[in-house]
Amino acid sequence: MLDLRPVGYIIGLMLAVLGALMTVPMAVDALAGNPNWWAFLESAFISGSAGVFLALTNSNALGRSLTLRQAFLVTVGIWAFLPLFGALPFMLGGPRAGFTDAYFEAVSGITTTGSTVFVGLDDFPPGLNLWRGMLNWTGGLGIAFLAMIFLPVMRVGGMQFFRTEGFDTLGKILPRAADIARSLAQVYAGLTFACLAVYLLVGMTPLDAVVNAMATIATGGFSPSDVSFGKYQGAGEYAGALFMILGSLPYIRYVQLVNGSARPLWRDPQVRAYLRWTLYAVGSVTLWRIATSDMAPEPAFREALFNLVSIISSTGFFSGSFPGWGSYMMAVAFWIGIIGACSGSSAAGLSVFRVQLMGQVVIAQIRRLHAPHRVALVKYDGRSVDEDTLNALVMYIYGYVVTLGVLTVLLTFFGVDMESALFGVWTSIGNIGYGFGPMVARTGTFVDFPDAAKWVMIVAMLMGRLGLLSLFVLVLPRFWRS
């Protein structure tokens, strides 16, 4: 029988940390004289108490090795269970949201999706907007860092957890999980502080700069304003585009860069393709906009750059009139949103790596059709790709397409129009946060979606963050057998 004690112990510790983090926005609201600080105090007490109880009741799991099945459960449990408590501040204070809306917001934050069901963000208590940014930031890579602190206590290297999070390649560079966590944390924090400094320089208020910096580097997209980056037009958009790109590059390359080796970053085929495809998308949409409207070149380029980078990096900020630009923009946005950014970053989507690899599979198959007896190996970056990797690739892309179609149909069943349904699933499964369609256009949020549709989107957000297959594995009866 599957031993759940190590899973409960780790999630309990994580929950206790979540409760401790709630004291930060509590202090911000208290210093601002906002009565919403009481909601954070209650939330911190409930979360911390539940976490300590869960950890203590499962403390006899100390010293036991963590199996791959338990690692899957830890990963899924963190992303699905922690938002239950992360939602408490939205229910106990601020907007006084119902459970569905509060859980939607918390899942959207911690999965770094960035879709929201709240309006009036500019009038939110400062601590509540800070909490939204913190959910993004901890969801980006912070939860992985915190988990890696506790996994050595379980007497496990931690590689199992990182394999389910998509960081297995780091094991070839750094020998121990603690080293991985430390290096990633330094890179993540360094990028966040650099982004914060630039945002302050372009004129953001300290609170806006902190929230936006956390959401940018996490590629999360939670903004403290209803108009998102429309509030910081000009230099703010250029700065945001730069750091969204930096936040969506492979962190493994930053680790190598810090260690004195810049060559792998510039030579990475994934990075080169990502920047090239982004340039193509921005250039084509800019030229199309200039040719079909009376918009001046600079604002056309700036809005196209910021919004398309926001989409391909799966961040979810928006600015200006871009969401209403028309069909060609939506078509380009749809496809780059599916592709996503680089593997090994906090971004989501299929990833440039998978799309490149699938292209190599197609080319190899065409060569086999032309010369049936020819051995056509699939290679990536000069190295042959094994069959297990290719099978996993095909499974993932097949699962992505089927999930996109099935959940879109399900949203229409619950009363969502076709355009809003398709883009609702697209933005959720890709953890993009950006919305299109009649039901989104009124407020720029998903507040008008029925509750049942919001739950479909919650599932899609979790599937997108966990890489689809993690949730599929959990529903197999074989997984739960000894």
pLDDT of residue 170: 46
For range 237-248, the mean pLDDT: 97
Read off the pLDDT of residues 46-94 as tens digits, 9 standing for 90 and up. 999 999 999 999 988 776 667 777 877 888 888 889 999 999 999 999 8
Most confident by average pLDDT, 40-54, 60-74, 149-163, 429-443:
40-54
Examine residue 209 and state whether it is found in any structural domain, yes or no: no
Question: How far is it, in rounded angstroms, from Cα 26 to Cα 179?
Answer: 32
| 219 assigned to a ligand binding site | no
pLDDT of residue 259: 79
Q: Give how many domains the chain has, as a whole number.
A: 1
Examine residue 17 and state whether it is found in any structural domain, yes or no: no
| 220 assigned to a ligand binding site | yes
Examine residue 15 and state whether it is found in any structural domain, yes or no: no
Examine residue 199 and state whether it is found in any structural domain, yes or no: no
Q: Is 196 left (phi over 0), alpha (psi -120 to 50) or beta?
A: alpha
Range of the domain at 405: 387-480
| 169 assigned to a ligand binding site | no
Examine residue 405 and state whether it is found in any structural domain, yes or no: yes
Examine residue 342 and state whether it is found in any structural domain, yes or no: no
| 58 assigned to a ligand binding site | no
Range with the poorest average pLDDT among 281-295, 348-362, 397-411: 348-362
pLDDT of residue 144: 53
Examine residue 123 and state whether it is found in any structural domain, yes or no: no
pLDDT of residue 153: 42
Q: Is residue 331's pLDDT more than 90?
A: yes
| 138 assigned to a ligand binding site | no
Examine residue 198 and state whether it is found in any structural domain, yes or no: no
Start-to-end C-alpha separation, the chain: 5
